[in-house]
Amino acid sequence: MCMVNKIIRNPYILIAPAIILVSVFSLYPILFAVRVSFMNWDTVLGTKEYVGFKNYINIFKDPVFWMVLRNTLIFAFFTVVIGIVLAFVIGIFLQKNRLSDNLVQSIIFTPNILSAVSVTVMWMWLMDPNVGILNFVLKWFGLPTLKWMMSPETSLMSIIIVSIWKGLGYNVMIVIAGLQSIPRYIYEAAKLDKAGRWTTLFRITLPLLSPTLFFLLITSIISSFSAFDVVSLMTKGGPENSSNLIVYWIYQIGFLQFNIGKASAGSILFMIMVSIIAVINYAFFNKKVHYQ
Amino acid sequence: MSYAAKVLRILLLITLVLVFVFPFIWMLSTSLKTYLESIKFPPDFLPKAPQFVNYSKTYVRIHFLHYAMNSVIVTFSIVLGQLLVCIPAAYAFAKKKFRFAGLFFALVLVDLVLPAQVSFVPIYVLVSDFGWLDTYWAMIIPFIYSSFAIFFMTQAFKQIPDELLDAARMDKATELQIIVQLMLPIAKPFVLTAMLFTCISKWNDYFWPLILTNSESVRTLPMSVKGMISDTPGLTQWNELMAGNMMLIIPILVLYIAANRFIKNAFVYGIK
Amino acid sequence: MKINLKNAVAMGLLATVIGVTGCSKESPSTDNSQDGAAQNASAPEAKEKVKVDFWSIWDPSQGNGKLMADAVKKFNDANPDVEVVMSGQGGYDGVAEKLEAALVAKNTPVIAQIEESFLGRYNPIAADLSKYMSQSTIDNYIEGLTRSSFADGVFKAAPMNRSTPILYMNADLVKAAGLDPAGPKTWTELQEYAKKLTDPAKGIYGFSGYWDSDAWYWESAVYSYGGEMVNKDGSQVAFDNEKGSSIVKLFQDMIKDKTMLNAYSAQENQSDLIKQNFLDGKVAMDFDSIGSMGQLINNTKFNVSVAYQPQEGGKNSMVTGGANAIIIDKATEEQKKAAGKFLDFLSQDENVVSFFEQTGYLPTTKSALETPELKKWLQEKPQFKVAIDQLQFAHSRPWSKNWKAIYTSNVEFMKSALIDTSKDPKQVVHDAAVAAQKIIDENK
């Protein structure tokens, strides 16, 4: 037991398995992509040649890349902000272990479990320009109807809505896990001090929840930048690339155009971009996060 | 609670249910329709007569038991593996001070920014070189660590006051006891949440098993269900496909509901 | 702190489960009895079996894949020295994606089932099949199905599951309207037929069609106007002209005068939408794949007749689709021979006939058409005969290694012209051509 204790006390041994695995299955693929990004590689002919920064230059010269980048930024901003604010509000409402709360929380969570196909089919139907329920609701409010995923003006908005909807249950669950870990005695103490509801919310709940919200922020940003399924299943990036996002675009270059060099260069740019955004957030918010 | 707040709460709950319950009802209803009803547009909400036979047909068609068994083996192995790999790492990152901790932490998180669509070619090459293609290893080993779980649990462990740990050490608790009997019970909602997410994503994963296996002997349930989608557009039997999807999600739905109760009942700060 | 029994038990359980799953991993391929694909080449026979990996678009446990898996088993039983191992790779795209990874990892399969038009890309790694298959088999394929199988005169892709678009008609409605039951010969005639068949009072549209996810029907129609997709060597886009845009204009016009049901007015799966309306008697003519025949005949209360795909300018011409088999040249000589033998086997009359009857994909060989069984079958279901006869007019698919990227781009443009019918078809097709040319130039 003493031996075990000694081993476990050593932090390097504690992190070793994770570090080894991440090196093999994440770091290696990244290094692989870095190397390929400087190549012109025809996999069928088996010919490779180093071409320097040509793949990167081609990407920067490609107007579709800039369009996709813009789409991705818009997509990420709205899904992250709306997704977290809604999750916080709903989490506060549903945190008790009442039957109704649990039921509603389970229902919100179902989009994460359901097959992508059934979710897709349902949204196609809800957003149908002629008989869809959403247009029906718009009409009912006297608003003009939309073409949703079928028009370049609204396709990006459509996939933003679907993404928020799909990810909400997941965010709520994390918020609730955070709320559950706030010790009850703190609330009891607040009650004794006759703190009002809003004071409790802003002075106790929010600060104590900040590590959770911070975590949610970072992971939401990263996952919204990496969005793939919603594009691939709902719009295929169309019409006219209006809903194309960066990972789907990289995929298209790699597996429709079979240009593995350019796709790798795109991947590297993508990872640099996401890392920078994540690090900025980390630096900015980590100081404000309140740990007990 | 005030009257207004109560009304607000109920309204919110009803709206949420309306917005989110649809796909589930939709799937269930489609799975009980006849083929002709299933392609009707705009669709009927409910089938005329529920076709429970869709389920028995699908059960046979997708070799449910064989693939479900593989899914169980793969999912549980991954969850166990992640517990063993991620908990010690999260503990070290949250409660130990050591050189290059920040660097190692950044390295561990690198996986978060690496989309599967980008990494699958090199991972396929690796797994192929290891000789793991077509074995359970291929579907388990690359996934037994998770940046998400490590990050999430590190955040959770950080919230546990150092004084508690010091007190335990004064009581001559070993490090193992500290992790198992102190940290884990306190961080239980987080650990359960992280593992639930792992379960869900691995149970439903279609992409990686497809890439890393060729043989039916180790493949998992989502692949068998996906196999029901026809190669020719318009020939898919939607009703049976949805029955297959229901059979795929029910185990995970049950697990979710059970875990959710656990998470909410988690005995917060149980150690006095 | 007291010792938590529950946690101790949990840790114990954990250890046990790891032990158990660890054991079960040792023998991953023993419980495969139900799939028929017997494996583990560990049989203690003196001679090693030649193992032939066969990557299919289908899951071998169900549907069409099950039929293929049964054929594989029959072949393996008859050839004790060979073992074909079929595996499903998730459809046409799945096979292409995994081939890509396999090329990098250098562990390609021996046989790959690829979409007909992908030979333009995989030609460099595809073996000359005439070296490994018998010449009589190759000569026996229906000529119209092999138009995309040759690279520089070398036969490289053996037809497997193949289809072609045809015009389905609600024969009862056609008869009631007093129209020639043989159906329209040209697109102009189709427009007239549709006008007469349309009945707004009953909610009946004369016609409906769509492009499909690879713009297959558009491609087919362009050929029927005498157009082309790309030039011979695939370096230039060739559809930026009247021949490329005529069908788009025709569909737009018919949608505008409400004689055609616009499948793109809804986001729902277009193919299902049209099919459902046809089955309901709300669409009188449907331009669709032969693959839908079984469903349409079996689910209708009226008579279904079929006609060749219409044309314009006097010459029938249309696409074929579906998959061909290639043998990857990197395999060993022994494997390639065994693979050739397997493809020969699949083309035997008995197998061709049963596959056709059960799937609705076209029969691939001439001799199969002469078998009494198939003759009788076609007599009962003469609609299939039309599709088989039509094959004499089959057009080869575009020869371009970038075709997958091009059609993905094309279909977006063609869709947009039907979503917004006020768009100028010439402009849309021109824009599509520019985008396609860019793909070609960037990926030479």
Question: pLDDT tens digit string along B94-144?
Answer: 988 898 988 999 898 888 888 887 888 889 989 999 999 889 999 999 999
CA distances from A258 to A226, C103, C322, C442 (A): 20, 12, 21, 11
Decide if C44 contacts B208 (C-beta within 8 A): no
Question: pLDDT tens digit string along B154-171?
Answer: 988 988 888 888 888 888
> Which of these CATH numbers, 1.20.120.1230, 1.10.3720.10, 1.20.1260.10, 3.40.50.11810, describes B52-269?
1.10.3720.10
Do the Cβ atoms of B210 and C94 come within 8 Å? yes
Residues of chain C positioned with their CB less than 8 A from the CB of A125 = 267-268
Backbone phi, then psi, for A228, in 5-degree steps? -135, -55
Distance, in Å, from the CA atom of C267 to the CA atom of C279, rounded to the nearest integer, reads 19
Q: Classify domain C165-319+402-442 by CATH architecture.
A: 3-Layer(aba) Sandwich (3.40)
The residues spanned by each domain of chain C are 50-163+321-385, 165-319+402-442
- Chain A neighbours, 3+ Cβ pairs < 8 A: B, C
Residues of chain C positioned with their CB less than 8 A from the CB of A129 = 265-267
Helix axes C242-256, C216-224, angle to 10 degrees: 110
Distance, in Å, from the CA atom of A206 to the CA atom of A193, rounded to the nearest integer, reads 18
Using CB atoms, pick whichever of B124, B129, B216 lies closest to residue C61. Answer: B216
Angle at CA C256, nearest 5°, toward C413 and C229?
Answer: 30
Do the Cβ atoms of B39 and C57 come within 8 Å? no
Split at pLDDT 50, 70, 90, the class of C21 is very low
- 0.90 surpassed by pTM: no
The residue among C293 and B150 whose pLDDT is bigger is: B150
Distance, in Å, from the CA atom of C88 to the CA atom of B67, rounded to the nearest integer, reads 14
Prior bond of B43 cis (ω within 30°): no
**Under DSSP, is residue C28 helix (H, G, I), strand (E, B) or coil?**
coil
The residue among B255 and A286 whose pLDDT is bigger is: B255
- In total, chain A counts a number of residues equal to 292
Residues of chain B positioned with their CB less than 8 A from the CB of C88 = 216, 223, 227
Mean pLDDT of C37-50: 55
Mean pLDDT of A54-62: 92
The sign of the torsion formed by the CA atoms of C69, B247, A118, B82 equals negative
Domains and CATH numbers, chain A: 53-288 (1.10.3720.10)
Domain C50-163+321-385 and domain C165-319+402-442 have a common topology: yes
Distance, in Å, from the CA atom of C225 to the CA atom of C242, rounded to the nearest integer, reads 9
Where does C123-215 have alpha helices with state H? 135-140, 171-176, 187-197
Distance, in Å, from the CA atom of A216 to the CA atom of A219, rounded to the nearest integer, reads 5
Where does C198-287 have alpha helices with state H? 216-224, 242-256, 270-279
Using CB atoms, pick whichever of B17, B118, B159 lies closest to residue A33. Answer: B118
Split at pLDDT 50, 70, 90, the class of A290 is low
Residue with tokens 């993508």: A270
**Under DSSP, is residue C346 helix (H, G, I), strand (E, B) or coil?**
helix
Using CB atoms, pick whichever of C93, C124, C266 lies closest to residue A44. Answer: C124
**Under DSSP, is residue C318 helix (H, G, I), strand (E, B) or coil?**
strand
Asked if pLDDT for residue C252 goes beyond 90, the answer is yes
Q: Which pLDDT score, from 0 to 100, does residue A1 have?
A: 53
Residues of chain B positioned with their CB less than 8 A from the CB of A180 = 189, 263-264, 266, 268
Decide if C99 contacts C107 (C-beta within 8 A): no
Question: pLDDT tens digit string along C135-172?
Answer: 999 999 999 999 999 999 999 999 999 999 999 999 99
Q: Kindly report the average pLDDT of chain C as a whole number.
A: 87
Residues of chain B positioned with their CB less than 8 A from the CB of A125 = 41-43
Split at pLDDT 50, 70, 90, the class of B150 is very high
Amino acid found at C333 = E
B68: tokens are 């479900």
Do the Cβ atoms of B180 and C291 come within 8 Å? no
Q: Which pLDDT score, from 0 to 100, does residue A195 have?
A: 79
Any A CB within 8 A of C378 CB: no
DSSP state of A145: P
Asked if pLDDT for residue C27 goes beyond 80, the answer is no
Give the residues across from A155 on adjacent strands.
none
The residue among C30 and B53 whose pLDDT is bigger is: B53
Mean pLDDT of C324-333: 96
Split at pLDDT 50, 70, 90, the class of C19 is very low
The sign of the torsion formed by the CA atoms of B23, B26, B31, B35 equals negative
Decide if A203 contacts A74 (C-beta within 8 A): no
Query: Nearest C-alpha of chain B: how many angstroms from C208?
Result: 14
Give the residues across from C82 on adjacent strands.
C50
The ipTM, to two decimals, is 0.86
Split at pLDDT 50, 70, 90, the class of B266 is low
* For chain C, percent of residues with pLDDT exceeding 90: 71
The residues spanned by each domain of chain B are 1-50, 52-269
Specify the fold of C50-163+321-385: D-Maltodextrin-Binding Protein; domain 2 (3.40.190)
Distance, in Å, from the CA atom of B257 to the CA atom of B177, rounded to the nearest integer, reads 30
Q: Which pLDDT score, from 0 to 100, does residue C12 have?
A: 44
Asked if pLDDT for residue C38 goes beyond 80, the answer is no
**Under DSSP, is residue C115 helix (H, G, I), strand (E, B) or coil?**
strand
Give the residues across from A17 on adjacent strands.
none
Q: Kindly report the average pLDDT of chain A as a whole number.
A: 87
The sign of the torsion formed by the CA atoms of B73, B126, C51, C84 equals positive
Q: Which pLDDT score, from 0 to 100, does residue B11 have?
A: 86
Q: Which pLDDT score, from 0 to 100, does residue C87 have?
A: 92
Q: Which pLDDT score, from 0 to 100, does residue A109 have?
A: 87
CB atoms under 10 Å from CB of B166, counted, come to 10
Using CB atoms, pick whichever of B101, B118, B268 lies closest to residue A181. Answer: B268
A5: tokens are 């204790």
Asked if pLDDT for residue C251 goes beyond 60, the answer is yes
The residue among A34 and B21 whose pLDDT is bigger is: A34
Asked if pLDDT for residue C304 goes beyond 90, the answer is yes
Question: pLDDT tens digit string along B166-202?
Answer: 888 888 888 888 888 888 888 888 898 899 989 988 9
